[in-house]
Amino acid sequence: MNPTRRRSRLTTARVALAVALAVVIVRWQFLDIATVTSDSMAPTVCTGDTVLVARLDHPSTVGVDDIVTFPSPQDGGQTIKRVVAVAGQSVAIHDAELVVDGRTFDEPYVDHASIDGVYTGTVTVPQVSLFVLGDHRETSIDSRGYGPIPTTVINGRLLWGPPWTC
């Protein structure tokens, strides 16, 4: 075999190995791939969808409208919900409309007709906590049931999901 061709193949093999190693390290340290097992976030994220989630070492960086993952307070299984309020904010639902700090929050992804007439009392989110809701409010079990969740339990933020809706 020609020495130049041999060096070229060896270089290609080294580059391929380095790329594969980098992918493994990034995946192991920073990213998770998850399959959604409920319809609580439909139509944004649907049952059976595979999503890419960034692991969070500092969940204090999570903000309103982020979609996050955490262990369910009910059964410990991994769950995915949208952050609608952070520490110090007040949150309520009045006739299916989300109200944060006294202002109606625009939620084009929620089917308000399916939850028309739903009311929840005002809750002030405690320090180091988040109020999370599923986009499919009719079936979602979320902070309306189990209350605000501590930011310390947040283990991921949605990076990518399928570009379509259910």
> pLDDT tens, 4-58?
766 666 666 565 555 555 555 555 556 788 888 889 999 999 999 988 999 877 6
Q: Are 70 and 149 members of one domain?
A: yes
Q: Are 4 and 84 members of one domain?
A: no
Q: Does the residue 8 lie in any domain?
A: yes
pLDDT of residue 117: 80
Q: Does the residue 166 lie in any domain?
A: no
Q: Residue 53's beta-bridge partner residues? A: 32, 158
Q: Residue 100's beta-bridge partner residues? A: 91, 103
Q: Are 75 and 90 members of one domain?
A: yes
- pTM score above 0.85: no
The 10 Å CB-count burial string (b at 16+, else e) for 106-131 is ebeebeeeebeeeeeeebebeeebbb
Tell me the per-residue pLDDT of 88-110, one tens digit each, with 9 for 90 and over. Answer: 999 999 999 999 999 999 999 99
pLDDT confidence of 150, banded at 50, 70, 90?
Answer: very high
Q: Does the residue 165 lie in any domain?
A: no
Residue 66 contacts residue 157 (beta carbons within 8 Å)? yes
> Active-site positions?
40, 81
Which domain covers residue 108, as residue numbers? 36-160
Q: Are 13 and 58 members of one domain?
A: no
- In percent, the amount of the chain with pLDDT more than 90 equals 49
Report the alpha-carbon distance of residue 52 to residue 6 in Å, rounded.
38
